């Protein structure tokens, strides 16, 4: 998506050859107008899939999930990373290793909010090694619901997540795929759009 | 707000005389259509305050903050609860004790996203003991920005947060204030709306 690539080129901060920060408009400060346009693009790509629910993971997936849900007219469910005494006892759980935070944690979703009739669209801000997305896939599969696709704002094409998920046969839509970070330049995969 | 009180009466689960769960429509599964109406109500109550930014805290404040931001046409910033290697070094921090999770944690916001010219609206899903909100107030004050008001979807009127914040002179708008949980009945404060 051209608009997104331009914005990344303009506003992302290159931290290292593996890390770009987009916290000025996507995942700390949020440019809501801009994200609305990304949400609309997800709708364009998945609108024929009869989505009944959008699943994401706290915290930085929530914004894009909410905005996309406005187009799909469905509820959002976000997986929780921490144990809360307010969570139901019956949950679907999966283990996720976070490279950013360098620890493993459980993610969970109340069993009440995923049903075998559901057609789930999984959305998140980033796809890198894919651990969080695979955790969400695992949770949806436990519930018996169908995974209709996965969407990511930014995919790091040089990491393993995209390959692993595509191998599983899912429709994966990443609005910008970073092929390489070369010095101070971000090189995107050029896909026909 | 009548609509919200009715929905709480219908769908909230009373866990104890102090805890109601609204995770079927506000903070785990999110009824986006419904929350949009709450967001519009926040706009109605704060629209004359020249808000430049909405500040919330991950994770369950993000949905309402994003939806309100669409009315105010401003960005959202959410305070982070965990240390991430992707966060800037220069941050405003505050300590918050969570009764739900029974531990103290730091919340932080990148110094770049709060400026002395900002007029901040703080939004969150719940106001109970007020610890998270006071942490956000502390962070805004460190930045030199102005606090234009605080909005909460649900306030537990029988806990101390509302009193503490109102004593500080802020405009506090809670869309539903629970006065008491009596057996299986939720009793709201009746305010002229």
Query: What's the CA gap between A95 and A48, in Å, rounded?
Result: 31
Q: Where are the domains of chain B?
A: 31-179
ipTM of predicted assembly, 2 dp: 0.96
Residue A28 sits at the chain B interface (C-beta within 8 Å): yes
Query: What's the CA gap between B64 and B153, in Å, rounded?
Result: 8
State yes or no: pLDDT of A47 exceeds 60. yes
Count CB neighbours of B189 within 10 A.
Answer: 14
From residue B111, alpha-carbon distances to A32, A106, B10, B77, B116 in Å are 20, 31, 42, 11, 11
pLDDT single digits (tens) A116-144: 999 999 999 999 999 999 999 999 999 99
**Which residues face A173 on adjacent strands?**
A151
Residue A55 corresponds to which tokens in the numbers above?
A: 């699943």
Residue bearing the bigger pLDDT, B101 or A7 = A7
CB proximity list for A167: less than 8 A, separation 6 or greater? none
pLDDT of residue A192: 55
In which band, very low, low, confident or very high, does the pLDDT at A38 lie, cut at 50, 70 and 90?
very high
Residue B21 sits at the chain A interface (C-beta within 8 Å): yes
A28/B110 CB distance under 8 A = yes
A75/B101 CB distance under 8 A = no
CB nearest to A59's CB, from B59, B75, B77:
B59
CB-based contact A91:A112 (threshold 8 Å): no
Chain A residues with CB-CB distance to B74 below 8 A: 32
* Phi, then psi, of A143 in degrees rounded to 5: -80, -15
Indicate the CATH number for domain B31-179.
Answer: 3.40.50.2020
How far does the CA of residue B168 sit from the closest CA of chain A (Å)?
A: 27
B77/A36 CB distance under 8 A = no
Give the mean pLDDT of B103-121.
96
ω into A20 cis (within 30 of 0): no
Residue B135 corresponds to which tokens in the numbers above?
A: 């942490």
pLDDT single digits (tens) B49-83: 999 999 999 999 999 999 999 999 999 999 999 76
Residue A144 corresponds to which tokens in the numbers above?
A: 């018996």
Query: What's the CA gap between B122 and B130, in Å, rounded?
Result: 12
CB-based contact A126:A156 (threshold 8 Å): yes
Residue B66 sits at the chain A interface (C-beta within 8 Å): yes
Count CB neighbours of B146 within 10 A.
Answer: 15
Residue B58 sits at the chain A interface (C-beta within 8 Å): yes
Query: What's the CA gap between A58 and A80, in Å, rounded?
Result: 6
Mutate to test the interface with A, among B65, B66, B87 (most CBs of A within 10 A): B66
CB-based contact A56:A35 (threshold 8 Å): no
End-to-end CA distance of chain B: 7
Chain B stretch 109-168, residues whose beta carbon is closer than 8 A to a beta carbon of chain A: 109-110, 112-113
* Phi, then psi, of A167 in degrees rounded to 5: -60, -30
The helix/strand/coil state of A55 is strand
Chain B residues with CB-CB distance to A78 below 8 A: 28, 30, 59
In which band, very low, low, confident or very high, does the pLDDT at B84 lie, cut at 50, 70 and 90?
low
Is A2-188 a domain of CATH 3.40.50.2020?
yes
Query: What's the CA gap between B105 and B103, in Å, rounded?
Result: 7
pLDDT single digits (tens) B4-42: 999 999 999 999 999 999 999 999 999 999 999 999 999
State yes or no: pLDDT of A172 exceeds 90. yes
**Which residues face A53 on adjacent strands?**
A120
pLDDT of residue B86: 66
CB-based contact B55:B72 (threshold 8 Å): no
State yes or no: pLDDT of A102 exceeds 90. no
How far does the CA of residue A58 sit from the closest CA of chain B (Å)?
A: 6
Q: Are strands A53-57 and A119-127 parallel, antiparallel or unpaired?
A: parallel
pLDDT of residue A98: 83
Q: Are strands B29-30 and A76-79 parallel, antiparallel or unpaired?
A: antiparallel
Tell me the residue length of chain A: 193
How far does the CA of residue A104 sit from the closest CA of chain B (Å)?
A: 14
Query: What's the CA gap between B136 and B181, in Å, rounded?
Result: 28
pTM for the predicted model, two decimal places: 0.96
């Amino acid at each position: 998506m051209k608009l997104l690539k331009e914005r990344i080129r303009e506003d992302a901060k290159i931290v290292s050859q593996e890390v770009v920060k987009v916290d000025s408009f996507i995942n700390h400060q949020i440019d809501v107008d801009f994200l609305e346009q990304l949400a609309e693009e997800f709708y364009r790509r998945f609108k024929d899939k009869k989505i009944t629910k959008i699943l994401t993971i706290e915290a930085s997936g929530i914004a894009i999930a909410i905005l996309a849900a406005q187009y799909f007219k469905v509820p959002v469910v976000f997986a929780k990373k921490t144990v809360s005494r307010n969570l139901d006892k019956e949950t679907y759980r999966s283990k996720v290793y976070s490279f950013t935070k360098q620890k493993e944690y459980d993610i969970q979703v109340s069993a009440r909010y995923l049903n075998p009739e559901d057609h789930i669209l999984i959305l998140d801000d980033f796809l890198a090694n894919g651990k969080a997305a695979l955790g969400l896939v695992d949770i949806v599969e436990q519930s018996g619901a169908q995974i209709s696709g996965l969407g990511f704002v930014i995919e790091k094409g040089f990491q393993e997540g995209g390959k692993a998920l595509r191998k599983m046969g899912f429709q994966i839509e990443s609005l910008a795929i970073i092929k390489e970070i070369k010095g101070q330049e971000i090189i995107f995969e050029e896909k026909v759009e």
